[in-house]
Amino acid sequence: MQIKLTHKKEFHSLISNGHGHNISVDNNTDVNPKGPSPMELVLMGVAGCSSIGIVRILKQQKIYFNNLEIIVDGKTKNSHPKVFTEIHAKVYVYGDVDSKKIYRAVDLTFKKYCSVSLTFSRSVKMYYYVFLNNKQILN
Protein backbone atom coordinates (compact mmCIF):
# COMPACT_ATOMS: atom_id res chain seq x y z
CA MET A 1 0.00 0.00 0.00
CA GLN A 2 1.42 3.35 -1.01
CA ILE A 3 0.12 6.91 -1.34
CA LYS A 4 1.60 10.00 -2.95
CA LEU A 5 1.18 13.58 -1.76
CA THR A 6 1.61 16.51 -4.14
CA HIS A 7 1.79 19.99 -2.61
CA LYS A 8 -0.52 22.53 -4.32
CA LYS A 9 -0.49 25.85 -2.46
CA GLU A 10 -0.15 27.04 1.14
CA PHE A 11 -1.30 24.05 3.25
CA HIS A 12 -3.35 22.44 0.47
CA SER A 13 -2.09 19.16 -0.98
CA LEU A 14 -3.48 16.41 -3.18
CA ILE A 15 -3.04 12.81 -2.06
CA SER A 16 -3.50 9.87 -4.44
CA ASN A 17 -3.35 6.11 -4.08
CA GLY A 18 -2.20 3.45 -6.52
CA HIS A 19 -5.73 3.06 -7.91
CA GLY A 20 -5.93 6.68 -9.07
CA HIS A 21 -8.24 7.90 -6.30
CA ASN A 22 -7.50 11.42 -5.07
CA ILE A 23 -8.35 13.47 -2.02
CA SER A 24 -7.44 17.03 -1.13
CA VAL A 25 -6.14 17.81 2.34
CA ASP A 26 -5.77 21.18 3.96
CA ASN A 27 -5.29 22.89 7.28
CA ASN A 28 -8.70 23.04 9.00
CA THR A 29 -7.88 26.47 10.40
CA ASP A 30 -7.62 27.90 6.89
CA VAL A 31 -10.37 30.37 5.94
CA ASN A 32 -11.48 28.30 2.96
CA PRO A 33 -10.06 24.77 3.35
CA LYS A 34 -9.81 22.75 0.13
CA GLY A 35 -10.31 19.43 1.93
CA PRO A 36 -10.34 17.70 5.30
CA SER A 37 -7.44 18.02 7.69
CA PRO A 38 -5.18 15.01 8.30
CA MET A 39 -6.78 14.51 11.73
CA GLU A 40 -10.23 14.50 10.11
CA LEU A 41 -8.93 11.89 7.66
CA VAL A 42 -8.04 9.68 10.62
CA LEU A 43 -11.63 9.87 11.89
CA MET A 44 -12.89 9.23 8.35
CA GLY A 45 -10.64 6.17 8.30
CA VAL A 46 -12.22 4.85 11.50
CA ALA A 47 -15.71 5.37 10.04
CA GLY A 48 -14.84 3.82 6.69
CA CYS A 49 -12.96 0.84 8.09
CA SER A 50 -15.62 0.04 10.68
CA SER A 51 -18.40 0.27 8.09
CA ILE A 52 -16.62 -2.26 5.90
CA GLY A 53 -16.27 -4.65 8.84
CA ILE A 54 -19.91 -4.27 9.91
CA VAL A 55 -21.27 -4.73 6.39
CA ARG A 56 -19.01 -7.74 5.76
CA ILE A 57 -20.15 -9.49 8.96
CA LEU A 58 -23.83 -8.77 8.29
CA LYS A 59 -23.56 -9.95 4.66
CA GLN A 60 -21.96 -13.21 5.79
CA GLN A 61 -24.92 -13.75 8.12
CA LYS A 62 -27.36 -12.75 5.37
CA ILE A 63 -28.63 -9.86 7.48
CA TYR A 64 -29.91 -6.99 5.36
CA PHE A 65 -30.48 -3.48 6.67
CA ASN A 66 -31.99 -0.35 5.14
CA ASN A 67 -29.28 2.14 6.08
CA LEU A 68 -26.03 2.47 8.02
CA GLU A 69 -24.55 5.69 9.35
CA ILE A 70 -21.47 6.14 11.53
CA ILE A 71 -20.60 9.37 13.31
CA VAL A 72 -17.08 9.57 14.70
CA ASP A 73 -15.91 12.25 17.13
CA GLY A 74 -12.35 12.69 18.32
CA LYS A 75 -11.08 14.46 21.42
CA THR A 76 -7.52 15.78 21.32
CA LYS A 77 -5.04 17.10 23.84
CA ASN A 78 -5.16 20.88 24.31
CA SER A 79 -1.40 21.24 23.86
CA HIS A 80 0.93 20.21 21.04
CA PRO A 81 1.13 17.61 19.76
CA LYS A 82 -2.67 17.60 19.69
CA VAL A 83 -2.99 13.83 19.44
CA PHE A 84 -6.28 12.04 19.90
CA THR A 85 -7.01 11.00 23.49
CA GLU A 86 -10.48 9.57 22.82
CA ILE A 87 -12.42 8.47 19.77
CA HIS A 88 -16.18 7.92 20.00
CA ALA A 89 -18.08 6.14 17.21
CA LYS A 90 -21.87 6.10 17.06
CA VAL A 91 -23.14 3.39 14.73
CA TYR A 92 -26.72 3.81 13.48
CA VAL A 93 -28.37 0.88 11.74
CA TYR A 94 -31.87 1.12 10.31
CA GLY A 95 -34.16 -1.72 9.33
CA ASP A 96 -35.97 -4.79 10.59
CA VAL A 97 -32.96 -6.63 11.99
CA ASP A 98 -32.00 -8.49 15.16
CA SER A 99 -30.48 -6.05 17.67
CA LYS A 100 -28.21 -8.70 19.22
CA LYS A 101 -26.71 -9.56 15.82
CA ILE A 102 -26.18 -5.90 14.98
CA TYR A 103 -24.46 -5.27 18.30
CA ARG A 104 -22.29 -8.37 17.84
CA ALA A 105 -21.24 -7.24 14.36
CA VAL A 106 -20.21 -3.81 15.67
CA ASP A 107 -18.48 -5.32 18.69
CA LEU A 108 -16.46 -7.75 16.53
CA THR A 109 -15.59 -4.98 14.12
CA PHE A 110 -14.11 -2.67 16.74
CA LYS A 111 -12.45 -5.40 18.79
CA LYS A 112 -11.10 -7.63 16.02
CA TYR A 113 -11.44 -6.43 12.41
CA CYS A 114 -11.17 -2.63 12.02
CA SER A 115 -7.47 -2.15 11.36
CA VAL A 116 -7.70 1.63 11.65
CA SER A 117 -9.27 1.75 15.12
CA LEU A 118 -7.07 -1.14 16.30
CA THR A 119 -4.01 0.81 15.19
CA PHE A 120 -4.85 3.42 17.84
CA SER A 121 -6.27 1.12 20.51
CA ARG A 122 -3.14 1.15 22.70
CA SER A 123 -2.78 4.92 22.79
CA VAL A 124 -6.35 6.20 22.36
CA LYS A 125 -9.47 5.30 24.31
CA MET A 126 -11.94 3.92 21.76
CA TYR A 127 -15.66 3.96 22.50
CA TYR A 128 -18.51 2.78 20.31
CA TYR A 129 -22.26 3.02 20.69
CA VAL A 130 -24.82 1.08 18.69
CA PHE A 131 -28.25 2.35 17.72
CA LEU A 132 -30.94 0.36 15.93
CA ASN A 133 -33.67 2.54 14.43
CA ASN A 134 -32.42 5.42 16.64
CA LYS A 135 -32.75 3.37 19.85
CA GLN A 136 -29.50 2.62 21.65
CA ILE A 137 -28.60 -1.05 22.05
CA LEU A 138 -26.78 -1.86 25.26
CA ASN A 139 -24.62 -4.92 25.66
Four-point Cα dihedral 50, 54, 55, 56, nearest 10: 100
Q: Within 10 A of 124 (CB to CB), how many other CB atoms are there?
A: 19
- Cβ contacts of 90 within 8 Å, gap of 6 or more: 70, 71, 72, 73, 128, 129, 131
pLDDT tens across 27-79, in order?
Answer: 988 688 999 999 999 999 999 999 999 999 999 999 999 999 999 999 999 99
The predicted pLDDT at position 19 comes to: 95
pTM of the complete model beyond 0.85? yes
Question: What's the fold here for domain 38-137?
Answer: GMP Synthetase; Chain A, domain 3 (3.30.300)
Q: Reply yes or no on domain 1-36 having CATH 2.20.25.
A: yes
- Work out the angle at residue 53's Cα, subtended by the Cα atoms of residues 2 and 16, and round it to the nearest 5 degrees: 20
Domain residue limits, the chain: 1-36, 38-137
pLDDT tens across 44-54, in order?
Answer: 999 999 999 99
Rounded Cα distance, 80 and 93, in Å: 36
Q: Are 93 and 109 in contact (CB under 8 A)?
A: no
Q: Residues of the chain with pLDDT > 90: what percent?
A: 92
